[in-house]
Amino acid sequence: MGLQLENLDKLVGREIYLKDIRLDLASGSRHVILGRTLAGKTTLLRILAGLDKPTHGRILVDGRDLTGVSVRKRSVAMVYQQFINYPSLTVFDNIASPLKLAGISKQEIDARVRRTAAMLHIDNLLDRMPAELSGGQQQRTAIARALVKETQLLLLDEPLVNLDYKLREELRVELQQIFKQRDAIVVYTTTEPAEALMLGGNIVVMDEGRILQAGPTAQVYRHPSNARVAEIFSDPPINFVHGHVRDRQAWFGRGISLPLTGQLAGLAEGEYTFGVRCNHLFLKASSPEDIEIRASVELSEINGSETFIHVSYDDQKLVVQDDGIHQLKLGREIPVYVNPCHFFVFDEQGRLAAAPDQACHSNL
Amino acid sequence: MARIEMQEVAHSYHGNSQNLEDYALKRIHMTWEDGGAYALLGPSGCGKTTLLNIISGLLAPSQGAVLYNGKDVTALPPEKRNIAQVFQFPVLYDTMTVADNLAFPLRNRGVAPDAVRERVLEVADMLDLGTVLNKKAAGLTADAKQKISLGRGLVRSDVAAILFDEPLTVIDPHLKWQLRRKLKEIHEQARMTMIYVTHDQVEAMTFADQIVVMYEGEVVQIGSPEALYERPQHKFVGYFIGSPGMNFMACKAEGAIAHVNGAAIALDAALAEAARKASGKLEIGIRPMHLEVHDTPMADAVPAAVTFVEDHGNCRIVTLALDGQTLRARIPEGQTVPGDKAWLRFPPQWTRLFADERLVA
Amino acid sequence: MEKWENNRAWFLVLPVFVVVAFSAIIPLMTVVNYSIQDIFGPGNAVFVGTEWFEEMLTDSRLHDALGRQFIFSGLVLLIEIPLGILIALAMPKKGWGVSASLITLAIPLLIPWNVIGTIWIIFTRPDIGLFGVGINSLNLLDVPFDHTARPSFAWITLMAMEVWHWTPLVALLCYAGLRAIPEAYYQAAKIDGASAWSVFRYIQLPKMRGVLTIAVLLRWMDSFLIYAEPFALTGGGPGNSTTFLSIYLVKLATGQFDLGPAAAFSLIYFLIVLLFSFIFYQALLNVGKGEKIA
């Protein structure tokens, strides 16, 4: 089935929860909704599920208007942030519950529950009660319940956010493989860019109830249409430095200037914001084009296999990603290198004016 | 401030049991040096909160002794140990103002009003609570409440140690790094002994100079973040630290070669020597970041099949099949990922050998 | 389009409206009807306006009963609330003692009201009652103890009965409130070096505010409506010393058959209870709230 959202608005009192949402979800497509907390992700999911009604606009399924049709009459399953299971039912009965309501034969239920449980590695826990499970196992049960019914629309609202990071890592990989085997439309919300990138498919970047940009995930990552998308779609946030272009030179920071080459060649004179993702700032120079910035260390944040070095330069905060684990003393002065070919450039309205060429990455 | 020693401490919630299974803490024998910034890291249920409560005196251990500066305090309750503790969820005196909340631990100990006032202002300033000092604590946001809890922990400057039990759980993600930084700064200034309990490697490694990794009631490694990453003393540390965790493959060593099923991986002299001496189940371990993935055959490289590629934006995680074993490699953005066949090199300086789950080389 | 299935939920609420209408609103309107008319018989009623209300509001016996009522309910709150808190604090936190003390406390609550009256009448009788005989054998009083002998004796017996009967409810509510306080609060207080009094004042009492609100409201309303106990004990005596509002009301309505004034009285009574419940509710809700800077 295909799903179209036409000019959806959701107002609660005077507050705008969603504004002018237009989306086209093709049959079998995967969509990740990326946005910070309160961006309107959950509101949109609830409308998709039929739990809420939009204030204006329509939801069309294969061209048929479904706005306001009860959730029970739609083919939809949803997984929530909290681990929601029936506390008095075993894992088996929890997973079987949507099928029992649909009046499916006993053998069929048994086979499908076991197959789905095996897919999520909880087939050895089918006799347990939810209270006897760890958080990860509880969420696996909730996911299995959503998957068992083969619905046309599968909604997941930050399903991994309450799990330990090791479990999150495992489940992410598994979910990605499970989604591939389904022909349902999958809509998955998250606040984490890394999760969105891993799940692939299409991305919808939301902020303050509006869609900022939608499209294939990799393309949006490499060509964010404006500065806010770049900010939301980078973790840690993308580094911004203000500057301007004058006399065929780009100027920024404390008297740093660059010739306009590569992706910067077409920039007209004016004020710009230069953006660079933290993995393109280095502690060592790697090419003759590199610019050196001297910055002082604020904190080394160690994340799994990388160190994020928060530094300050010219009253601006920058984050440098350094592979491996390294601690640096607070307040130490260090050189930071950046190759201008990695610059995103945004104009005064925040619109993308230039993005790094694909060639820039392979030059390294 | 104090040096805290744990001597043969063990704890069971079922009294003095003979059954090792009953012990939430198996045997802890270690020292927390004066002025250190420590993290106590481990998954839920590994015993870290039990250990913390034994240090603070909220719990008396079934066995062993706790010493502060050489003095046995095992039998003393927390208020006699001169220790501060911050809990996972904000614990506030709802009816008091923020200032009174901060002053409470000092007033209970009979500190002079002027000194109390001065110290409260100092701590409030440190945590940016100056603007809400006269408000009732009950009406504030969750992060402000937790900051007050932190402040009550920090307000006594003479404590033996400050213990933090997952203190940033309720803080909004983008505020977390500011508070981590704040705590680190405070540590640098005051040089108090701080012990920070968490299951989050980011928090542990960002805050601490020394990380104590716990697993199933035991301390499996104490070391700097670099040491945990580069030389994990136990398979669990390899798995738990790093994202994705370390790759492990069962192997058999023959001279300078480690056989993983059909594949032969070359070892250097030191690894080969360690493999010869080691007994028990031998496993080879390498971090995904250190595993070299090439798209053409080369010396010392073993062929593997690429089964899966995840794009993380700044890098790609490649899943590889090597003779029935699954390996993960982390490939930086600029480098190309081989199509379906790859050649893997195990650089000897990053290749580790484990016997019965413990590091041998 | 605008038909949304949740509208159907209103049908589910409808039976409640019907029940409330029959159980509360219709009887109340009957009382209102009586309070503004003089009814001599079926079809024979005269509209009297506010006459009954004026009569009742200036009735000195009603004023006396109201005064007694305030003193009684005030004393009930003053004794039962602190006593209930103390019992709750003293109750065990774990082990077999929990169920034992819960059951012990629940016993007085399970006894029917007329049985309570009988128990206490027998208990305090000067000839055969354990308490009556006991206190008289000590010879501490100038007159032998007998709850019908002196107003103070009747009050003491009544108060003892009331406290015995209802303090367990307050204690149970407080106990539930105390059990809901996370262990971390006590641990933090220990580490902060707080005294037992501070723990009570700054942790236990504020955290019990919710249940105390309920306890105060319940005990206020219930004691303000007290009827059965004084009726069983002395029927309002000796003299009029235990004639509380409801006893006077019943005397007026069924004893003297003054239905008009009794109806006006009922409405006034109802409004007083409502007014004071509202005041208590607001007051307790606002304790410790707001940003009053000391």
C33-81 tens-digit pLDDT: 888 887 777 777 777 778 788 887 888 888 888 899 999 999 999 999 9
B268-278 tens-digit pLDDT: 888 888 888 88
Say yes or no to pLDDT of B63 above 70: yes
SS (H, E, C) chain B: CCCEEEEEEEEECCCCCCCHHHEEEEEEEEEECCCCEEEEECCCCCCHHHHHHHHHCCCCCCEEEEEECCEECCCCCHHHHCCEEECCCCCCCCCCEHHHHHHHHHHHCCCCHHHHHHHHHHHHHHCCCHHHCCCEHHHCCHHHHHHHHHHHHHCCCCCCCEEEECCCCCCCHHHHHHHHHHHHHHHHHHCCCEEEEECCHHHHHHHCCEEEEEECCEEEEEECHHHHHHCCCEHHHHHHCCCCCCEEEECEEECCEEEECCEEEECCHHHHHHHHHCCCCEEEEECCCCCEEECCCCCCCEEEEEEEEEECCCEEEEEEEECCEEEEEEEECCCCCCCCEEEEECCHHHCEEEECCEECC
Among A199, A230, A261, give the residue marking a domain's end. A230
Say yes or no to pLDDT of A27 above 90: no
| Tokens at C127, concatenated | 């000839």
The reply to whether residue B78 touches residue C289, judged by beta carbons under 8 angstroms, is no
Domain that residue A269 falls in: 237-362
C169-202 tens-digit pLDDT: 999 999 999 999 988 899 999 888 889 999 999 9
User: Same structural domain for residues A272 and A124?
Assistant: no
Q: Which of residues 150-209 of B touch C (CB under 8 A)?
A: 152
Is B95 an interface residue toward C (CB < 8 Å)? Answer: yes
Say yes or no to pLDDT of C130 above 90: no
Choose the closest CB to A321 out of B206, B314, B334. Answer: B314
Say yes or no to pLDDT of C292 above 60: no
- Which residues in chain C are contacts of A53 at CB distance < 8 A? 4
Query: What is the 8-class DSSP label of residue C111?
Result: S
Report yes or no on C291 lying in a domain: no
Distance between CA atoms of residues C80 and B73, nearest Å: 43
CATH number for position C130: 1.10.3720.10
- Which residues in chain A are contacts of C4 at CB distance < 8 A? 53, 68
pLDDT of residue C290: 41
The reply to whether residue C1 touches residue A53, judged by beta carbons under 8 angstroms, is no
User: Same structural domain for residues A35 and A118?
Assistant: yes
For chain B, the average pLDDT equals: 88
CATH number for position A103: 3.40.50.300
A282-325 tens-digit pLDDT: 888 888 888 888 899 988 888 778 888 989 888 888 999 888 88
Report yes or no on C294 lying in a domain: no
Average pLDDT, integer, range B144-151: 90
Report yes or no on C292 lying in a domain: no
Query: Looking at chain A, which subunits does it touch, using at least 3 CB pairs closer than 8 Å as the criterion?
Result: B, C
User: Same structural domain for residues A188 and A313?
Assistant: no
Give A69 to chain C, closest Cα distance, Å.
Answer: 8
Contacts of B331 (CB under 8 A, 6+ apart): B293, B315, B316, B317, B318, B337
Among A180, A206, A230, give the residue marking a domain's end. A230
pLDDT of residue A345: 93
User: Same structural domain for residues A30 and A13?
Assistant: yes
Query: Looking at chain C, which subunits does it touch, using at least 3 CB pairs closer than 8 Å as the criterion?
Result: A, B
Query: Looking at chain B, which subunits does it touch, using at least 3 CB pairs closer than 8 Å as the criterion?
Result: A, C
Among A195, A230, A265, give the residue marking a domain's end. A230
Average pLDDT, integer, range B167-181: 76
User: Same structural domain for residues A335 and A191?
Assistant: no
Name the pTM for this structure.
Answer: 0.78
Domain that residue C274 falls in: 5-286
**Which one, of B55, B40, B57, lies nearest residue B7 by Cα?**
B55
Number of domains in chain A: 2
Domains and CATH numbers, chain B: 4-231 (3.40.50.300), 243-359 (2.40.50.140)
Residue that has been written with the tokens 């390498």 in this structure: B286
Choose the closest CB to B108 out of C182, C198, C206. Answer: C198
User: Same structural domain for residues A242 and A193?
Assistant: no
Is B82 an interface residue toward C (CB < 8 Å)? Answer: no
Greatest Cα pair distance in chain A? 78
pLDDT of residue C1: 38
Give A269 to chain C, closest Cα distance, Å.
Answer: 54
Give A194 to chain B, closest Cα distance, Å.
Answer: 5
Average pLDDT, integer, range C246-271: 82
- Which residues in chain C are contacts of A70 at CB distance < 8 A? 5
Residue that has been written with the tokens 């195990």 in this structure: B346
- Which residues in chain C are contacts of B152 at CB distance < 8 A? 188, 192
User: Same structural domain for residues A50 and A181?
Assistant: yes
A151-167 tens-digit pLDDT: 889 999 999 887 777 88
Report yes or no on C44 lying in a domain: yes
User: Same structural domain for residues A211 and A272?
Assistant: no
| Tokens at C75, concatenated | 């004393």
Is B223 an interface residue toward A (CB < 8 Å)? Answer: no
The reply to whether residue B330 touches residue A305, judged by beta carbons under 8 angstroms, is yes
Say yes or no to pLDDT of C294 above 70: no
The reply to whether residue C4 touches residue A67, judged by beta carbons under 8 angstroms, is no
Say yes or no to pLDDT of B149 above 50: yes
B68-82 tens-digit pLDDT: 999 999 999 888 888
At how many degrees (to 10) do helices C113-124 and C151-179 cross? 130
Give B87 to chain C, closest Cα distance, Å.
Answer: 7
User: Same structural domain for residues A107 and A157?
Assistant: yes
User: Same structural domain for residues A191 and A43?
Assistant: yes
CATH number for position A316: 2.40.50.140
B210-233 tens-digit pLDDT: 999 999 889 999 999 889 999 999
User: Same structural domain for residues A25 and A72?
Assistant: yes
What is the ipTM, given to two decimal places? 0.78
Which of the residues B93, B134, B140 would you substitute to probe the C interface, choosing the one with the greatest number of C C-beta atoms within 10 Å?
A: B93
Number of domains in chain C: 1
User: Same structural domain for residues A154 and A208?
Assistant: yes
Say yes or no to pLDDT of C102 above 60: yes
Choose the closest CB to C184 out of B91, B95, B96. Answer: B91
